[in-house]
Amino acid sequence: MPELPEVETIVRGLAAKVVGATIDRVDVRLPRVVVAPDGMRFGKALCGERIVAARRRGKYAVLQLASGRALVTSLRMTGRLVVAQPAAAELPATHVVLSLRGRGVLRFSDVRTFGRMRLVAAREAWDRDLGVEPLSSDFTQEAFIGMLSGRTTPVKALLLDQRRIAGIGNIYACEALWEARIRPSRPAGSLTKPATHRLRRAIIDVLQRAIEMRGTSVDDYVDADGLQGGFQNDLSVYGRGGRPCRRCGGSILRTVLAQRGTWWCRRCQR
Ligand SMILES: [Zn+2]
């Protein structure tokens, strides 16, 4: 569930709290949630490492380590990364605890256990299958047109494809399509040039606004301080089935597209 704005909010919170910290102890309570390169033991390899940066790639939180390795966390549905004092109460299903010298503990919890912490070797191309970052200068109008052109896939399914654009999930795909007044089932290649332009602007706009609001908490998402986001109050369509469209007053529909609940307005999305 955490998408680009939620993971961005988490890593900004982590950056303030863990950058510069040395990992003193690693407690892995559920071994299957951690992955390490062959021949490297996760906990042993991390002990003594210093965290030099926290960043995001797609929906992944990346802690860059002084050795050149990186600790990459995918939160999937219900994963949480929270920094706390050792004495503070733990969230349920805490699977990994990193003790940071003089800086508290970094806890990875995940009720549904789909999330993973992965240690990657220096220069390992772990993200080679991820597409363009939508808030980067690489996400140009030309690049976006190239992605859509000739494709019969519903435009919403294309927005969710992490190999093309990294970080957009169900919430922001629905919201961006509403903002751009585009029907989610439209074949990607059928979008006119102005519609493509509107959609690209809408993707950037909705992601930026959600980051400003520290993400959307409709599920389990909390930031690195354990606090909820605020964008759930600004959603236009996601989860608003049967309620009036904020733009035209029409009724918001919920349909299923590419196995995902999809919310949209029949009257103003074409
Ligand atoms: Zn409408």
- Choice among 38-42, 212-216, 231-235 with the minimum mean pLDDT: 38-42
Measured in residues, the chain has a length of: 270
| Position 58 confidence tier, pLDDT thresholds 50, 70, 90 | very high
44 is catalytic: no
| Position 135 confidence tier, pLDDT thresholds 50, 70, 90 | very high
| Position 101 confidence tier, pLDDT thresholds 50, 70, 90 | very high
Tokens of 19: 């950058």
pLDDT at 140: 98
pLDDT at 49 over 90: yes
3 is catalytic: yes
Distance 119 CA to ligand 1 centre (A): 45
- Per-residue pLDDT reduced to its tens digit, 150-187: 999 999 999 999 999 999 999 999 999 999 999 999 99
pLDDT at 220 over 80: no
List 12, 50, 260, 266, catalytic entry = 260
* Residue 158: its H or E element: helix 155-160
**89 DSSP assignment:** P
* 156 Cβ neighbours under 8 A, 6+ residues apart: 173, 174, 177, 184, 185, 257, 258, 260, 262
Q: At 89, phi and psi to the nearest 5? A: -60, 140
pLDDT at 150: 97
194 is catalytic: no
Distance 148 CA to ligand 1 centre (A): 24
pLDDT at 50: 98
Mean pLDDT of the 58-78 span: 97
Distance 134 CA to ligand 1 centre (A): 25
Closest CA to 80 of 29, 124, 175, 14: 14
186 is catalytic: no
pLDDT at 113 over 90: yes
- Per-residue pLDDT reduced to its tens digit, 78-95: 999 999 999 999 999 999
pLDDT at 24: 97
Distance 210 CA to ligand 1 centre (A): 21
Distance 139 CA to ligand 1 centre (A): 27
- Report the distance separating Cα 20 and Cα 50, nearest Å: 6
Mean pLDDT of the 260-265 span: 97
| Position 38 confidence tier, pLDDT thresholds 50, 70, 90 | confident
Torsion sign across C-alpha atoms 252, 254, 257, 259: positive
Instruction: Decide: 155 and 186 in contact? Cβ < 8 Å.
Output: yes
Report the mean per-residue pLDDT for the chain.
96
Distance 237 CA to ligand 1 centre (A): 9
List 57, 59, 156, 240, catalytic entry = 59
